[in-house]
């Protein structure tokens, strides 16, 4: 197998488990040095140890500008370029417009939306200096359609979709690509959060009649991180087994 990310340094937020961990493993297989950035310290450290010299753990709360500055500063102090950022960290909440609180709405927006904004802002200057970079923002099928029982989450993922396009437009002149990925039902801890009354029906929502493995999303993210997608920016890539078809 070729090394599609040879000599690349990638930051993956929410990289300690689930989809982020699958991306970290796949990136390392393809030659990248991966910064597993998360608030889940013990899980992140364990994954970094598993991946050996090709990975390191960095405590990162995506809503904290100082945490972002420390992460970028650590890499620049080590003489590393920042080639890839995967804004994967996110939280899920089941709520409705008429049954949600301002506090819950703002909490979801802070992680899922502001965290992405701060991440892109944090890496932009370094990527501009090197005139290259790939930013992959993990949105959701909920960012492509309205979801009545995931009001705050859906709003936040629509915001990620919009930020991706605006950032892509601004950064294209510096050869920095920004794309969004829209997963459907993925076998991670987030899927376990679905209410009991929906659990038996989850797969019936999907035309392909199954949920996806996190590794299937990781393959798409890997492609967007690599030079194989060199002419793709500001685009939406859906990996949902047909869920968003309707």
Angle (deg, nearest 10), helices 18-29 and 41-51: 20
Contacts from 193-197 at CB under 8 Å and sequence distance 24+?
193/92, 193/94, 194/94, 195/94
User: d(Cα 48, Cα 76) in Å, to the nearest integer?
Assistant: 20
CA distances from 79 to 12, 28, 126, 201 (A): 19, 19, 11, 50
Beta-strand pair 236-239/133-138 = unpaired
Q: Which residues pair with 135 in a beta bridge?
A: 85, 178
Joined together, the tokens standing for residue 117 give 């904004």
H helices of 182-239, in order, are 214-225
Task: Provide the 3-class DSSP secondary structure of residue 219.
Answer: helix
Joined together, the tokens standing for residue 130 give 């090197």
> Which residues are part of the catalytic machinery?
153
H helices of 78-184, in order, are 102-109, 115-130, 151-171
Half-sphere exposure for 31 (CA within 13 Å, toward CB):
11
């Amino acid at each position: 197998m070729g090394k599609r990310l040879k000599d690349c340094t990638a930051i993956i937020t929410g990289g300690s488990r689930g989809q982020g961990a699958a991306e970290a493993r796949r990136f390392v297989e393809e030659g990248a040095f991966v910064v597993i950035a998360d608030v889940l310290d013990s899980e992140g450290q364990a994954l970094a140890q598993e991946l050996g010299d090709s990975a390191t753990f960095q405590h990162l709360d995506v809503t904290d500008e100082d945490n972002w500055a420390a992460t970028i500063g650590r890499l620049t102090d080590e003489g590393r370029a920042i080639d890839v950022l995967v804004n994967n960290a996110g939280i899920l909440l089941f709520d409705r417009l008429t049954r949600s609180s301002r506090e819950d709405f703002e909490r979801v927006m802070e992680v899922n939306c502001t965290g992405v904004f701060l991440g892109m802002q944090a890496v932009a200057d370094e990527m501009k200096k090197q005139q290259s970079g790939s930013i992959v923002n993990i949105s959701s099928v909920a960012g492509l359609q309205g979801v009545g029982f995931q009001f705050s989450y859906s709003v936040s993922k629509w915001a990620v979709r919009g930020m991706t396009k605006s950032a892509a437009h601004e950064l294209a002149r510096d050869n920095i690509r920004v794309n969004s990925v829209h997963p459907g039902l993925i076998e991670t801890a987030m899927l376990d959060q679905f209410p009991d009354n929906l659990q038996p029906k989850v797969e019936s929502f999907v035309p392909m009649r199954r949920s996806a493995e996190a590794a299937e999303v990781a393959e798409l993210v890997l492609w967007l991180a690599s030079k194989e997608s060199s002419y793709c920016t500001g685009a939406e890539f859906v990996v949902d087994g047909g869920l968003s078809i309707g």
